[in-house]
Amino acid sequence: MIRLVVFVLILFAVAAGFAWLADRPGAVAVDWMGYRIETDLTVALVAMVVGVLLIMFTWWLVRGLWNAPGS
């Protein structure tokens, strides 16, 4: 029960953080190798979170395959 309450509180905090960011307009501009990429702050943050989650999943998959028992 305590885990559920902690999970809900963390979920609420993350949602409140995203709502706070959505209410404040902002922009991110990246100049890299002659290209200029411009996007909203919220889109950049979501892309960064998705990127980190993909890296974590890939690391978990590689570790699982590396430590799997061989035949």
What is the per-residue burial (b if ≥16 Cβ within 10 Å, else e) of 7-20? eeeeeeeeeeeeee
Nearest to 28 by CA among 18, 17, 39: 39
Percent with pLDDT over 90 in the chain? 68
Residue 66 reports pLDDT greater than 70: yes
In whole numbers, what is the pLDDT of the chain averaged over residues? 91
Phi, psi dihedrals of residue 32, rounded to the nearest 5°? -150, 120
